[in-house]
Amino acid sequence: MKADLPKLRSAASVQFSRFSANRMAMISVWLLALTVALCFLGPYAFPFTAEDADFDNISAGVDLFSIHPFGTDDYGRDLLIRVLEGGQVSLMIGFLGALVAGVIGVLYGAVAGFAGGRTDNIMMRFVEVLYGFPYVILVILLSLLLGGGTLALFTALVFTLWLTPAVIVRAQAQSLSRREFIEAARAGGMTSWQIVTQHIVPNTISLVIVYGSLLVPEVILSESFLSFLGIGIKEPQASWGNLIQIGTSQMATDLRLLLLPGTLLALVLFCLNFIADGLRDAFDPNEH
């Protein structure tokens, strides 16, 4: 009774075909994939790393046919490779941060919304307290605690960014938990945890995918912002944020230090926003 069944279109396949019909979103997917591949594989094409200084070519200009296509900075480090490796850090923090914050937020919100009553009340008041916490100060505190660097930045970002998915999912879980299939699940002997993970969370997933795709650029932007302020990723490690910061200090004389990381960051942010847009349209229940 499995293999020989007529193939019916599931909701997911309808949504997928609707997403692939969105041209901007599909272009964005390919551009983003290309950028990611470039950032993670590109540096291997060069015989030196981002930290190797080439003292013969300090502050070299753009020369696409030389060994340093986009030139070097004033320490003689290759700009292209620094931007690509900075991209690795920014993208990793973006996707991983969104994933971790998303998972925590979804589970927290689903539990709160499903439990309801006093549990929900306490859990959501806690979220509101955290919302009130100024996050630049939180990052500074955490950097002091964890000795600064990527881990402190990552923890601080996740700590502030799981709140919104929690609130969104909680509202959805609240309305879902009053539906009759949840009652049927209880009559079928499922535990509350099983209902949350097998009924509530899968039913919020379309919402979460859309929000998650907006969360990634938010994390990348926050990372860049904090690194720009000098409390995120520290030299000599590169990230798009601190590269842009170095770029701005020299933009009066040499614009390319700002333009290269800035363009890539903008490209990724645009792509992610178009993808989020396409996902939202694909999952929109009003168009079913």
Partner 1 sequence: MTPVLEARNLTVGYKIPGGLFARPQTLPIVQEVNISLLPGQTLGIVGESGCGKSTLGRALMYLIKPLAGEVLWSGQNPAQMSPEVLRKNRAQMQIIFQDPIAALDPRMTLARILSRPLATFEPQLSKTDVQTRVAEALQRVGLSPDFAARYPHELSGGQAQRVGIARAIIGRPKVIICDEPVSALDVSIQAQVVNLLMDLQAEMGLALVFISHNLAVVRHISHQVMVMCLGRTVEQAPRDAFYARQLHPYAAALKQAVPEPDVAAERLRRGQSLPGELPSIAHPPPGCVFSSRCPQAQDLCRTARPLLKSYGSGRQGACHFIEAPP
Q: Catalog residues that contact partner 1 under the rule CB under 8 A.
A: 1-2, 5-6, 8, 10-11, 179-181, 183-191, 198-199, 202-203, 205, 288
Q: How far is the CB of 26 from partner 1 (least distance, A)?
A: 25
Cα distance between residue 113 and residue 204, in whole Å: 12
Shortest approach of partner 1 to residue 213 CB, angstroms?
Answer: 19
Q: Are 169 and 101 in contact (CB under 8 A)?
A: no
The smaller minimum CB distance to partner 1, of residues 23 and 125, is found at 125
Minimal distance in Å, beta carbon 159 to partner 1? Answer: 31
Least distance CB 10 / partner 1 (angstroms): 6
Q: CA 200 → CA 75, 196, 208, distances in Å?
A: 54, 5, 12
Q: Which residue, 134 or 189, is less far from partner 1 as judged by CB?
A: 189
Residue 172 CB coordination number (10 Å): 20
> Would you tell me the crossing angle of helices 240-249 and 256-283 to the nearest 10 degrees?
140
Nearer to partner 1, 3 or 252 (CB): 3
User: Please, are residues 271 and 28 in contact by the beta-carbon 8 Å criterion?
Assistant: yes
The residue among 11 and 41 lying less far from partner 1, judged by its C-beta, is: 11
Query: CA-to-CA distance for 70 and 82, rounded, in angstroms?
Result: 11
If the CB atoms of residues 2 and 253 are measured against partner 1, the closer one turns out to be: 2
* Integer Cα distance of 283 and 41 in angstroms: 33
d(CA 103, CA 109): 10
Min. distance of Cβ 208 from partner 1 in angstroms?
Answer: 13
